[in-house]
Amino acid sequence: MSHPTTTPPPPTPTFLKLSFPAPRVLLIRMDRPASLNAMSTVGQWEMHSVWEWLDSEPNLSVAIITGTGRAFSAGADLKEWNSSMASDADPSKRMGNSPAFKPLSRRLGKKPVVAAVNGLAMGGGCEFVVNCDLVVASEDAVFGLPEVKRGVAPIGGCLPRLIRTVGLQRACEFALMGEPISAQKAFEWGLVNKVVEKERVVEEAVRYAAAIAENSPDAIVCTRAGIRQGWESAAVERAVEVTLETQWAELQKGENIKEGLRAFAEKRRPVWKGSRL
């Protein structure tokens, strides 16, 4: 499905394929199956550009991320990482230190992202999942943070967020042992919203995303911001105040709040404009 975006999407020749499966919904497919959709440095920059574009594009409200083949993503390309460690390259430019090394796992962003986990989600791929807003997993999906077994650490942003989602003891079991868990266990721990048959994982993610995208684009951004403020900080009242002072203040200046209230009074479906937030 094509989509009338106001600006063309960034080029994604190396790692990503973009499509629009429903109105206001962007589907991002990691497409490097021979490497289990592991990210090279180039791929990380590519993904960084796509998230920047998503948040600035007023005619998109939600994104879905999935993988091609048997993996969602194996995370960082460890072969490239190994080569960079053996070279004389500037350490600040090595994988793991690049500014692009936060394409999703450290992305705060404005708009929600649904993970459609079609298979292996390991290392940085699992970190992606921890930071997504909703997660649909196939029955055979596997999640793991095996970094400790490779001499590195999952420093992409998932560790403090993992604690907030599953608790200290489960986070320690998961990250310090480096052992994988099943989709069912991830569901029981609260990392996954729904487990479905493999052939339905993207379809179900689209269902979630399309249901979100039917709502006010401004209200989606504001509501997610309030949730994220509460997740990222411990002070509940301060989280509320920040959202009131920023996204809520902007929401009230736009046309969508007027349209939503007017449509309710007139007993009709609202016709939303692009997000101003």
Confidence band for 39, pLDDT divided at 50, 70 and 90: confident
Q: Is this structure's pTM higher than 0.85?
A: yes
Tens of pLDDT, residue by residue over 132-181, are: 999 999 999 999 999 999 898 888 889 999 999 999 999 999 999 999 99
CA dihedral sign, ordered 215, 219, 225, 228: negative
pLDDT average, residue stretch 64-93: 73
Q: What is the pLDDT of residue 2?
A: 55
Answer whether residue 76 shows pLDDT above 80.
Answer: no
Every domain of the chain and the residues it spans: 16-213, 217-265
| Cβ atoms of residues 112 and 224 within 8 Å | yes
**CATH assignment of 16-213, among 3.60.60.10, 3.90.226.10, 3.50.30.30, 3.40.50.300:** 3.90.226.10
Q: Distance of alpha carbon 210 from its chain centroid, rounded?
A: 16
Catalytic residue selected from 75, 119, 123, 124: 124
pLDDT average, residue stretch 204-213: 98
pLDDT average, residue stretch 2-22: 85
Answer whether residue 31 shows pLDDT above 80.
Answer: yes
Residue with the larger pLDDT of the pair 259 and 6? 259
Active site residue 124: yes
Q: What is the pLDDT of residue 156?
A: 84
Active site residue 127: yes
Q: What is the pLDDT of residue 253?
A: 95
Catalytic residue selected from 46, 57, 80, 147: 147
Whole-angstrom Cα Rg for the chain: 19
185-221 burial, b if ≥16 CB within 10 A, otherwise e? ebbebebbbbbbeeeebbebbbebbbebbebbbbbbb
In terms of DSSP bridges, do strands 16-22 and 25-30 run parallel, antiparallel, or are they unpaired? antiparallel
* Mean pLDDT score of the chain: 90
Answer whether residue 8 shows pLDDT above 90.
Answer: no
- Which structure tokens are listed for 138? 């196939």
Catalytic residue selected from 46, 57, 127, 204: 127
CA dihedral 231, 234, 236, 239 (to 10 degrees): -60
Q: What is the pLDDT of residue 14?
A: 85
Catalytic residue selected from 38, 71, 76, 141: 76
